[in-house]
Structure 1
Amino acid sequence: MSNQNSALKAPENTRPDLGNRHPLTPLLAPQSVALIGASTQVDAAGNDMVLELLDGGFMGHAYAVNPKYDEIEGIRCYAALSALPEVVDLAVIAVGNGRIEAVLDEAIELGVGAAVIFGSAYLDEDPQLSERIRDKARTAGMPICGANCMGFYNMDQGLRAFPQHIARDFRPGGVTYISQSGSVLTGLLWNDQKLRFNLAVSAGMELVTTAADYMDYALEQPSTRVIALFLEAVRDPDAFVAALEKARQKEIPVVVLKAGRSEAAAALAVSHSGAIAGDDAAYQALFERYGVIRVKSLDELAATSLLLSQPRRMAAGGIAAIGDSGGEREVLMDLADEANVPFAAINDDTVASLKENLDPGLEPINPLDAWGTGNNYQQIFEHCWQALMDDPDTAMGVFMADLTSRFWLHESFARVCRRVSMRSTKPVVMLTNHVGTDSQDLAMRLCRAGIPVLDGTEQGLSAIRHAMDYRDFLKKPQDNLPEAVGLDISLKWRTRLSQAQMLDEYEGLQLLQDYGVPTQAAMLADSLQEALQAGEQVGYPLVLKTAMPGILHKSDVGGVKLNLQDSAQLRDAYEDINSRLGSRVLLAGMAQGTAEVAFGVLNDPQFGPMVMIAGGGIFIEVLRDRQIALAPVGQRDAREMIDKLAMRPLLDGLRGQEACDVDAVAHALSRLSLLASDLGDLIAEMDVNPVKVSAAGCVAVDALVVPKAALETEQQSVQQETH
């Protein structure tokens, strides 16, 4: 830690060229720091940030800035930034909102490299303050942490730029933790000492520097093993996607706790696709594309990050588990089944080794209860545990014990874990049965030995399942994307969709046909005579639907007549629809199928076009059974989407029915995803519902296409009428 007696760099008037350094180096790894607003007031941000810097062990040059003092906590204090003997890399600003802009102006004029702004940068009398600060910093190329943030810890640099002080040493590790909530940051940073961080950032308002930028920096650090995120929103979608792709290339897992999974968009949606997707659909699709691990709670975030921060990657197969309780083993088996965590299928050699070592009456199975008489228990556990770990189908080892520090039995279990772990290349974890065990001291020692301790069976198993999913994601071969259509086809439909006019169902079916999605044969008619002629060409039985403009959901207005068997029924149906709704109709053959699905296309303003498949009927209306992916997707990935549907068993044929051609559905979904990729920027929403599925393939029966231009025109008209 430097003070006023340290050797200082010569003053400089301009910032040096960063060269090959990361753009966030002046912010996160500065060589010199100015603490603006430093003070001697106990428990105030101005004093706490000085104590944090001192306790972190920062080895660069540090200056306090406040005209009231000559020194604070042993650090020399200056009246202003301009009075410092050098232009610092980082200015940490802890002043009132009314002074932030003036301080930032001075920092920019001097050429300071970066800033941390703790304050909210908001004034009732000056609502544009934060925007001006953002614009000035961006123009100057100055990264800023905040505003309205708690700063960061960079353990690799021994630097804490933080407005609240806790007198504790933190061991550096491999978890990068980026949070858009300060309290969520300290909830783990200060309270779960099993987690060891290399970087922990409270991103705040992200006026300039976003979560994506911090991710990019972390991905360049050799110490980063896993990135944990608490997200409320993504403010730079392109940079965020680029960071996820970089993480995938480097095989560094990203774990996300995303807040705000609301359904607010559903009430505004025109189509079923928009209604059942919800606001969170794009995040779900994005995370699945890049193998992002999504968690539901802070506990799950901590457990998953802890597991993935250990250096060993999970092998193929399932888990091998050992413990000292038959009852706890049964609970583990029940919960593992619910979490879809498989146990390793141990081979005959492993079974024989277990039999040789276990006390009489104990079953040589996985998971293993190895406690018998207690005689020679440590040798029994070690030999059995080693046999389980050596089994070819063991992906990782799980030792179950409610750890109590300094208790002789649990200390010996820990020794067994350490010894077996040293002889294996596979991950080994300790799993407690509940989170209230007195395990902190022993757990810390195990974690330092490279053996994570996961607190609580459920969240521990969730972490293990996430690790398995990430393992499988990395091994997944790249899918072949669908073959492109001709340029003339895409240009034709881009021109049509650019018009401020809704597509009718007939056009929607033509659009699907042009992109290779099988559709039911259909014809338009505008009179009874045309309808009768079309009926003969299409063939009976057939469906008659209104094709009058503006009617989106035809069945809601009695605009659909099914299973018309002959011309007489067609005549009656046409006359009814004509009298109520209008003369224009569409005729189509009665598509046959043993099951129904629904397709959809959506366009997210941040992450672009998406394709959706949902179960038909009750599955889409009530159960909201759907899968969503960023477009385009290959046929293999489309098949995986289908396999995740709750209605998937219906496609295999029930009660003597033939199994459906699932590959045909996957092919059609992949083709639709190409349509979404080509044209999605012009489509607000698109429904293909129902899609009839049978052993012979699949066929789209109906299509609702809402061009963005048409929707915007309609919304403008409504606004004008309202005003």
Structure 2
Amino acid sequence: MDNISARENRQARLKRMLAPTSAVFIGGASMIPAVDNCRARGFQGPIYVVNPRRSELAGIPCVPNIASLPEVPEVAFIAVPRENVVGVVGELSAIGVAGAICNSAGFSEMRGGEQAQRDLVAAAGEMPVIGPNCPGVANFADRSVFMMDFFGEHDQNGSVALISNGGSYLSDLGSSDRSLPVAYSVGLGNQAMITAADVLDVVLDDERIRAVNIYFESIRNSAALSAAALKAARKGIPVIAIKGGRTTAGQRATQSHTASLAGDDTVASALFKRLGFVQVSTHTEALETLKMLVHAPKVKGRRTAYATSSGTYAVLGSDIAEANGLDLQPPSAEAAAEIEKHLPPFVHAANPLDIVSSADDGKKTLDIYRAFLSGNLDVAVNVMCYPPEGGWDPTTWDTNTTMFAQAARERGLPAAFVNTMPEMISRSVRERMIAEGLVPLQGLEDGLRAVSNAIRSSELAEIVARKSDEEILLPLYSANVTNPIALDEASAKAELANVGISVPRSVVVKPDQATSFEDLTFPVVVKALSADLSHKSELGAVALSLGTSDEAWRAVCSMAENLKKTAPEIAVSDFLVEEMVKDGVGELLVGIRRVDGIGLALTIGIGGTQAELLRDTATILLPASRDTIAEALRSLKLYQMLDGWRGRRKGDVEAAVDTIQKFSQFAISNGERFVEAEINPVIVRPQGKGVVAVDAVMRLAR
């Protein structure tokens, strides 16, 4: 079967798994809650149970083995001891089951379980297996729930798909009392066969789905994920991403600065940006963002009208709003005059607008909101806190929010109500608000972030819409390159020079062999050559501004002797003598590294010895267009230093972009051979004079 046919077959079988017509549970008494949950959620097809030692389980007669099933079920839920899983999976595959959900644990999530997981995959053949170590799968919209735990009660009107490595994340969001309309809840477990990309691709074909949330603990195949992301983008379905398991890449990286400046979390963020995913930090931020996306029309700009009944939340809320990019412009003179007709003399029209003294008069409140929302706005936000049950009479709050919703509807504005505390807003109130077109958001910071994230979603959608498919899709890279070799600086620069990147003229010398420097223009720099020398300046392995041949030779000999004392573990026999660049305007760091599961990450930053101190960087994934590279360079905080800030000479930015492009193509063209490389610094010369790569480190696979 070719790759396209295999993918189509897998996706077709996944769709059958998510909405099966029959099911089998294989395991013991621990499965009783899962079987009960399946029936309680309204599964309509026949349910079978396989157990060789029981006559019945959860009130369902058991069959002793898979061969005794009266029909071939479409989905199997496996909860047997690890040692029995491979055999069960093989039998299910042999009889043609569409797919299996493997709840059993003890595989790659545990030390020594990797081989068992490989055996499971081999036994499955073409049958997709979700898991192992998987909490389960729920399609609430079609009443197909196969989960070991309780992940919430949802009706058939859901429009959100939740996809997660872990079960707790799904349980928290699915069981929350926050009016999140969940349609799918899919636990991936170890992703031995089925990844987030596979599930995303399938749920995007469901016309009921309006937003997707993925919790990643690992990213297994960015090529497949980018293909699914392209599908989401072209369908206009937003994806909210949250990444757990952040690592310190510098602990296992090479000699370069790049890994510490662009750790795995930074690279994941670059991936999400490329794919048009909105990245959030917490599960509650994800939850509120999803509500904003599915309950409100698309928010297309940041001009925000912010109304509240509290001076406190006018201050605190506006700080949070502005920190998250919401634009709180004051009302126009005309709108202010109209607003103040209905306000007492001591309250003035502003944004945020405090209407506490008028909140108990419905008509007056509506008139205020009509005036307040009459300007050139993109979204309306009402911030208050409903009283707890048994507290104040909520009539005033109900009147206020209803009038706000009406004024926003009349203006055609997306509108949200933010309850400052996550609790204390009842389901009946939330449902009333949703019916009126007002999105009930819970928690001041999460709520305002949700509004901002909805705007960010629209902005990313517009960016992705302007890009070609090739600027979104990523190639497939193999993982775990073995036996990489580190090149010394001279060898690394030779590789760069071969692809047209400018490097200084130089010669390689030994302390005990006389060599002529007549082809070099002074001053020069002397550097010790060794692939094991990462930060040369700290070890005294660099000497700058040497004006004569004699000075250069003395530096070579002195450095050779000193390194025997300061770095006796490093054998240094060769030294690089090269011309210095005397007219630099600024310095850049440009690094590329291979990241397992994602691909090649390009990091651009302000370079030199202060690179890690400044941490002024931008990271994008390759391949990238020239425009994307130029945009990343311009995004640096200190870019103005290269662009003529305060009368400085302008640097040759076009040449810098050319060099970064050539460097990127070098990494791409080396394919599986490329592991990591960094140029630090690239000296940017004055406009029209080019750039020079004056230091480089590189690792290539054997």
Q: Shift of the alpha carbon at 1:220?
A: 0.9
Residue identity opposite 1:462 in structure 2: R
Counterpart residue number, 1:174: 159
Give the SS at the match of 2:212: strand
Pairing 1:87-106 to 2, within 5 Å after superposition: 87-106=72-91
Counterpart residue number, 1:616: 607
Residue identity opposite 1:642 in structure 2: L
Counterpart residue number, 1:211: 196
Give the SS at the match of 1:252: coil
Q: CA contact under 8 A between 1:563 and 1:590: conserved in structure 2?
A: no
Please say which of residues 115-124 and 64-73 is displaced more in the overlay: 64-73
Q: Shift of the alpha carbon at 1:455?
A: 1.9
The number of equivalent residue pairs is 666
Counterpart residue number, 2:587: 596
Please say which of residues 199-208 and 457-466 is displaced more in the overlay: 457-466
Counterpart residue number, 1:225: 210
Relative to structure 1, the CA distance from residue 340 to residue 541 in structure 2 (aligned partners, 3 Å threshold; closer, same or farther) is farther
2:298 is the counterpart of 1:313? yes
CA deviation string 1:600-643 (max 9, x = no partner): 12122322222111223465223533221111323332233234
2:681 is the counterpart of 1:690? yes
Q: CA contact under 8 A between 1:304 and 1:462: conserved in structure 2?
A: yes
2:617 is the counterpart of 1:626? yes
2:12 is the counterpart of 1:22? yes
Query: Quick one: distance in 2 between partners of 1:154 and 1:201?
Result: 8
Relative to structure 1, the CA distance from residue 362 to residue 33 in structure 2 (aligned partners, 3 Å threshold; closer, same or farther) is same
Query: Quick one: distance in 1 between partners of 2:259 and 2:113?
Result: 39
Relative to structure 1, the CA distance from residue 54 to residue 548 in structure 2 (aligned partners, 3 Å threshold; closer, same or farther) is closer
Pairing 1:315-334 to 2, within 5 Å after superposition: 315-334=300-319
Q: CA contact under 8 A between 1:274 and 1:685: conserved in structure 2?
A: no
2:102 is the counterpart of 1:111? no
Query: Quick one: distance in 1 between partners of 2:583 and 2:313?
Result: 52
CA deviation string 1:303-340 (max 9, x = no partner): 22222223521123422211112221111221223223
Relative to structure 1, the CA distance from residue 449 to residue 671 in structure 2 (aligned partners, 3 Å threshold; closer, same or farther) is farther
Query: Quick one: distance in 2 between partners of 1:459 and 1:448?
Result: 22
Pairing 1:225-264 to 2, within 5 Å after superposition: 225-264=210-249
Query: Quick one: distance in 2 between partners of 1:181 and 1:500?
Result: 33
Q: Shift of the alpha carbon at 1:454?
A: 2.1
Question: Which of these residues, 419, 444, 447, is aligned with residue 406 of structure 2?
Answer: 419
Query: Quick one: distance in 2 between partners of 1:676 and 1:510?
Result: 14
Q: Shift of the alpha carbon at 1:114?
A: 2.0
Relative to structure 1, the CA distance from residue 25 to residue 166 in structure 2 (aligned partners, 3 Å threshold; closer, same or farther) is closer
Cα RMSD (Å) of the superposition?
3.7
Counterpart residue number, 1:467: 454
Pairing 1:11-160 to 2, within 5 Å after superposition: 22-37=12-27, 45-66=30-51, 78-120=63-105, 128-137=115-124, 139=125, 141-160=126-145
Relative to structure 1, the CA distance from residue 104 to residue 262 in structure 2 (aligned partners, 3 Å threshold; closer, same or farther) is closer
CA deviation string 1:487-522 (max 9, x = no partner): xxxxxxxxxxx99976554554454455454x3542
Residue identity opposite 2:507 in structure 1: L
Q: Shift of the alpha carbon at 1:104?
A: 3.6
Counterpart residue number, 2:146: 161
Relative to structure 1, the CA distance from residue 142 to residue 529 in structure 2 (aligned partners, 3 Å threshold; closer, same or farther) is closer
Q: Shift of the alpha carbon at 1:169?
A: 4.8
Counterpart residue number, 1:489: none
Relative to structure 1, the CA distance from residue 639 to residue 93 in structure 2 (aligned partners, 3 Å threshold; closer, same or farther) is same
Counterpart residue number, 2:543: 561
Residue identity opposite 2:225 in structure 1: F
Query: Quick one: distance in 1 between partners of 2:152 and 2:486?
Result: 64
Query: Quick one: distance in 2 between partners of 1:184 and 1:482?
Result: 33
Query: Quick one: distance in 2 between partners of 1:699 and 1:167?
Result: 59
Q: Shift of the alpha carbon at 1:31?
A: 0.9
Q: CA contact under 8 A between 1:248 and 1:291: conserved in structure 2?
A: yes
Q: CA contact under 8 A between 1:228 and 1:256: conserved in structure 2?
A: yes
Q: CA contact under 8 A between 2:489 and 2:530: conserved in structure 1?
A: no
Which 5+ residue runs of structure 1 have no aligned equivalent?
Answer: 1-17, 39-43, 484-497, 713-723
Counterpart residue number, 1:606: 597
Question: Which of these residues, 628, 635, 640, is aligned with residue 631 of structure 2?
Answer: 640
Q: Shift of the alpha carbon at 1:585?
A: 2.9
Q: Shift of the alpha carbon at 1:214?
A: 1.1
Query: Quick one: distance in 2 between partners of 1:481 and 1:80?
Result: 48
Pairing 1:278-317 to 2, within 5 Å after superposition: 278-310=263-295, 312-317=297-302
CA deviation string 1:669-703 (max 9, x = no partner): 33432333223532322121112346536623423
Query: Quick one: distance in 2 between partners of 1:458 and 1:649?
Result: 33
Give the SS at the match of 2:518: helix
Query: Quick one: distance in 1 between partners of 2:64 and 2:517?
Result: 92
Relative to structure 1, the CA distance from residue 704 to residue 126 in structure 2 (aligned partners, 3 Å threshold; closer, same or farther) is closer
2:698 is the counterpart of 1:706? yes
Relative to structure 1, the CA distance from residue 347 to residue 516 in structure 2 (aligned partners, 3 Å threshold; closer, same or farther) is farther
CA deviation string 1:63-121 (max 9, x = no partner): 44456777766756555544444322122234444544454444334322222222225
Q: CA contact under 8 A between 2:359 and 2:396: conserved in structure 1?
A: no
TM-score, normalising length: structure 1: 0.82
Which 5+ residue runs of structure 2 have no aligned equivalent?
Answer: 1-7, 472-481, 563-571
Question: Which of these residues, 427, 431, 444, is aligned with residue 457 of structure 1?
Answer: 444
Query: Quick one: distance in 2 between partners of 1:463 and 1:619?
Result: 37
Query: Quick one: distance in 1 between partners of 2:540 and 2:496?
Result: 25
Counterpart residue number, 2:386: 403
CA deviation string 1:23-70 (max 9, x = no partner): 3122111011223347xxxxx643212321222122233344456777
Residue identity opposite 1:606 in structure 2: G
Residue identity opposite 1:395 in structure 2: D
2:180 is the counterpart of 1:195? yes
Q: Shift of the alpha carbon at 1:658?
A: 4.3
Residue identity opposite 1:23 in structure 2: R
Query: Quick one: distance in 2 between partners of 1:499 and 1:22?
Result: 39
Residue identity opposite 1:277 in structure 2: A
Counterpart residue number, 1:5: none
Relative to structure 1, the CA distance from residue 532 to residue 21 in structure 2 (aligned partners, 3 Å threshold; closer, same or farther) is closer
